[in-house]
A and B are shown apart, each in its own frame.
Chain A
Amino acid sequence: MRPTVANLNFTSRKRIERSHVRISGTTAGNEGYFILDRFDVSEYEFPYDAQLFVESWTGKYGYQRFDVGRLDRLDLAKRHDFASNDLPNATFRIKVVAPGSSGKILGDADNIPVEIGGRPPSILPIDPVDLDNRVWWLEIDEETGPVLQMNQRLPDYQQIARDIEFRATVMPSVVYQIALWVASSTSSGEADAKVRRWEKALTFPSVDLSKVNVEDEDSRQDFATRAAKAFAKHHDLFEKFIISLDRNQQ
């Protein structure tokens, strides 16, 4: 008898916790590779001969698949060459697949970002796009959440986004816009999870989302302003900016 499609997890697939998995990547020019440097799944009791696959997505149809091997023969130090210059923006899905030909997924972890150069992945994805004469832009999609867009013509947009001059001058405005989105969000499901993550990230002593009157624009703007100020203070953005200016003038 054929199976019916009754609900999303009708095969008792196990959700692998994000904290049990880590993908680290290295890029150099147009080349890159990643390693699966943490894969701690002992508590899930998968069969030893289950197969592990890693899949990546870049852009709309940029799909790559990597056969990592049997669970009892994993070589976590193995480098997996990445056939795209967009490794920093790739998202990964890790699948533990039942032995044999059933194709049944026993466990998985989805939307895993890659850590480049040992840095933990940012809550704010960076996307290189055509921005003409603008250096950056914040795009907030109701489903995918905030994305920091960087002009794709920049020589090294990842590095520029990390530079203190950029962060000090740009991030308070970015945080302000995101805080406004959080304060007025009525999202649900996956989108709601993104709002909750940002809520957590914007938690500072002087910033209390619970006191915001979502119907009142002034109240939302006040919350966003407080969040931007608190963010700048928490990261000492002004001080670091001045120090950087001094260094550049020497």
Chain B
Amino acid sequence: MTTLRMRYFSQEGIDEFEQHLSRMADRDERHSISTLLEDSALTVPLENRRSLPVHEFSNRADCGRFFYKKLDVASSELRAAGVNPVGHRGLWTWFAAAWLEHLLLDSKGNFFVGAKERYILSTSARRDYRHLLYGPWMLYTAALENPDLVEIALCDPVTKDSPVFEQLASRRDIVTNVHALKLLNKCYRNTTTGVVHPQAVRDDIAGGLRRFGSVYSQLAVNYDLQNMTESAIQALLPAEFQPWLDGRPPDLKTRKPSAKK
């Protein structure tokens, strides 16, 4: 296992890293970038006292927890260096470069160079959660007092596409509302096994997770959902969510009727 000291990329470092990613994508082949990580012309050292063990994360929760702890213990050094981890492109892009051998994978574990924003933190707050390490850290940190409620979004490996993570991380209204999170877990999490109902991520089944997100957003326009209990929000949901709330999600073969007939 590689051990590093925390650093962050300068803009030149980010540019250089991006070029390496492009080359790997073009050649469909991984090459080492280890010299990049501690190049004094491309990186700035941050914290020298503690080591940063580069290892594979078992899932997004493990990833979020790891970076939460590392950044928390280093908070005074980060502050002294004027580095705020929230939205810090150089820091999170350097983390992605350090963990790259574990990140250049597709959902099946094959070599894959995905969209740049998976490794280079986007400057847009609407897309930053797509960064493979920053997204889990953000969601884990946002739900620090109720980690169980976001577990369904953080249970997959960081490189595995997760519609649950995508839906949750992109909807701040839900992430910041404990009652909404409880309701979402009630609908889409199997209470016996703790895993997400496979039907939940299917767009062709009524009342799925994506539909929950869009209905919630519409209801939030007209109702003060942040101040309502779980049961009060539940009472506002259309009938299509009832089977989910009753713990009887629609059968996988049950598809919602097509609008074009």
Contact = CB atoms under 8 A, between A and B. Distances in A.
A144 interface: yes
Contacts of B215: 5
B130 to A, nearest CB: 12
A235 B235 CA distance: 55
B123 A139 contact: yes
B138 A133 contact: no
A11 interface: yes
B87 to A, nearest CB: 5
Nearest to A6: B218
A247 interface: no
B138 to A, nearest CB: 6
B86 interface: yes
Contacts of B224: 53, 95, 97, 103-105
A63 B224 CA distance: 14
Nearest to A63: B176
A103 B138 contact: no
B232 interface: yes
Contacts of B172: 57, 60-61, 63
B167 to A, nearest CB: 15
Contact of B90 (A13, A104, A128, A132): A132
B147 to A, nearest CB: 14
Interface in A1-51: 2-5, 8-11, 13
Interface in B200-229: 215, 218-219, 221-228
Instruction: List 4 tightest A-B contacts by C-beta distance, closest first.
Output: A132-B11, A61-B142, A63-B176, A153-B82
Given A8-B222, A60-B129, A105-B221, 13 more contacts: A2-B235, A2-B239, A3-B238, A10-B222, A13-B222, A60-B128, A60-B138, A61-B142, A61-B175, A103-B232, A105-B222, A139-B123, A152-B88
27 contacts: A2-B238, A3-B236, A8-B222, A11-B223, A61-B138, A61-B141, A61-B172, A65-B227, A95-B224, A97-B224, A101-B232, A102-B223, A103-B224, A103-B227, A104-B222, A129-B87, A129-B123, A131-B11, A132-B11, A132-B90, A133-B10, A133-B11, A139-B123, A139-B124, A152-B87, A152-B88, A153-B82
